Structure 1
Amino acid sequence: MIGIIVPAHNEEATIGHCIESLLAAAAHPRLQGEDVQIFIVMDACTDATGDVVAAYPVQSIEVDYQNVGRSRAAGADLQIQQGARWLAFTDADTAVPVSWLADQLRFQTDAVCGTVKVDDWSLHSDAVRERYDSLYTPIEGHQHIHGANLGVDARAYKSVGGFKPLKAHEDVHLINDLKNAGASITWTTVNCVTTSARLDCRCREGFGDYLRSLAHNSVQAIA
């Protein structure tokens, strides 16, 4: 079985689109009908995220961690208990391509780190987008790590203790632990996901805050 884990905190506006993209990826013919379970970890949600999730054929739990590392780990642990051999992670404001899972598995490595692209830059200045493009290298062999586009073999995940209970950068720590353990890692662009550049970001020090930092740096550069 393949397990997909999505942490969500007040994501009523985006989680439906995310789940629909995951359902399409789960039905890809290259998976040859292997069971795929989608697991939404609703962390301290106070909006209608649960109502949206309930409309889809997915599993979910409610937690009150306010901690993305703990949320990802909780979902991963439950999926492993259900027999998952592969764990795929994304975010609730992200849509994955239809070949997302099939592409992760075809590399036959312990982990697959994919890239992201922004769905809409309209909330940011041209300077922010230009600075982002100058710093981001979406090429094969890149060294970018995104919780929004990550796949890990379940045995390799367990061998390094999984995600640490961190409020940010839990994905970076996991990949570094896998590196230190000698795991095989693929860095690819073939399964790029589309994510939000929203300003009301849910995770401190996450992708949204990174874009905010580029805005600050852009102002400094212009000044």
Structure 2
Amino acid sequence: MIGVVIPAHNEEKYIAACLLSILVAAKHPQLAGCQVSVVVVMDDCSDDTALLVEAHGVEAIAVSFQNVGKARAKGAEELLRAGAQWLAFTDADTVVPPDWLARQIEFMADAVCGTVEVDNWAEHGEQVRSQYLEHYQFIENHRHIHGANLGLSATAYRRAGGFQPLVAHEDVHLVADLERISARIVWTATNPVLTSARKDFKCRGGFGEFLANLGTVSGSAAL
């Protein structure tokens, strides 16, 4: 069984496209009919996210953490309890490719760290786009870490201690813990996801804020 976790905080604008892409990925022929369970962890949602999740026949868990680390961990706990042997994580404003899950499993690794591509740069302009593309590595053995494109075995997740209750960089800390236990991590650019460059980002310190800071002195230095 493969489990997919999506944290969401008022994501009615994006969640439908995200879920549709995951449901397509769940039916990839290379998975040979493997069961795929998807869980949306609705963290303090007050919009129509729940209605959209229900309309797509996907399980939803309502929490009030306002903490992405806790939300990812909650989803993981539910899926592990249900018997998931592989956990895949993405974000509600992200669209995954049809072979996303199949590629993760194919590597036969403890964990797979994938890359992200931006869907539209219109809100940021050419300067930010150029800054990002100049430094981002769309290559194998990159060292980018994104909660929007991360997969790992249930065994590795448990051994590493899972996601810490952090409001940002929970993915970075989990990968550091995976390295600490000498997990076999594949860093690949062959299964990129498409994520939003929106300015109304939900997670402080996350990818959206990173893009917003690009072009400034501090943002350029952070690269």
Give yes or no for TM over 0.5: yes
In the alignment, the residues of structure 1 paired with residue 129 and residue 54 of structure 2 have an alpha-carbon distance, to the nearest angstrom, of 36
Q: Measured at CA, do residues 139 and 31 of structure 1 come closer, stay the same or move farther in structure 2, by a change above 3 Å?
A: same
CA contact (8 A) 1:127 1:218 kept: no
Q: Measured at CA, do residues 98 and 188 of structure 1 come closer, stay the same or move farther in structure 2, by a change above 3 Å?
A: same
In the alignment, the residues of structure 1 paired with residue 214 and residue 156 of structure 2 have an alpha-carbon distance, to the nearest angstrom, of 34
The answer for unaligned runs of 5 or more in structure 2 is: none
* Residue 206, structure 1, aligned to residue 206, structure 2: yes
Output the TM-score relative to the length of structure 2: 0.97
Q: Which residue of 1 is the match for residue 108 of structure 2? A: 108
Instruction: Report the Cα offset of residue 217 of structure 1.
Output: 3.2
Q: Which residue of 2 is the match for residue 195 of structure 1? A: 195
Letter in 2 for 1:61: I
Q: How does 1:146-185 map to 2 (within 5 A)?
A: 146-185=146-185
Runs of 4+ more than 6 Å apart: 218-221
Instruction: Report the Cα offset of residue 215 of structure 1.
Output: 3.0
RMSD of aligned residue pairs (Cα, Å): 1.4
Instruction: Report the Cα offset of residue 9 of structure 1.
Output: 0.3
In the alignment, the residues of structure 2 paired with residue 42 and residue 153 of structure 1 have an alpha-carbon distance, to the nearest angstrom, of 23
Instruction: Report the Cα offset of residue 218 of structure 1.
Output: 9.1
Deviations 1:64-100 (A, max 9, x none): 0000000000000000000000000000000000000
Q: How does 1:5-154 map to 2 (within 5 A)?
A: 5-154=5-154
Output the TM-score relative to the length of structure 1: 0.97
Instruction: Report the Cα offset of residue 144 of structure 1.
Output: 0.2
The answer for unaligned runs of 5 or more in structure 1 is: none
CA contact (8 A) 1:131 1:214 kept: yes
In the alignment, the residues of structure 2 paired with residue 172 and residue 218 of structure 1 have an alpha-carbon distance, to the nearest angstrom, of 20
Letter in 2 for 1:207: F
Instruction: Report the Cα offset of residue 213 of structure 1.
Output: 1.2
| Residues paired across the two proteins, number | 221
81-90 or 122-131, larger mean C-alpha shift: 122-131
CA contact (8 A) 2:97 2:191 kept: yes
CA contact (8 A) 1:86 1:153 kept: yes
Letter in 1 for 2:124: H
Deviations 1:25-64 (A, max 9, x none): 0000000000000100000001111111110121111000
Identity of aligned residues (%): 54
Letter in 1 for 2:188: T
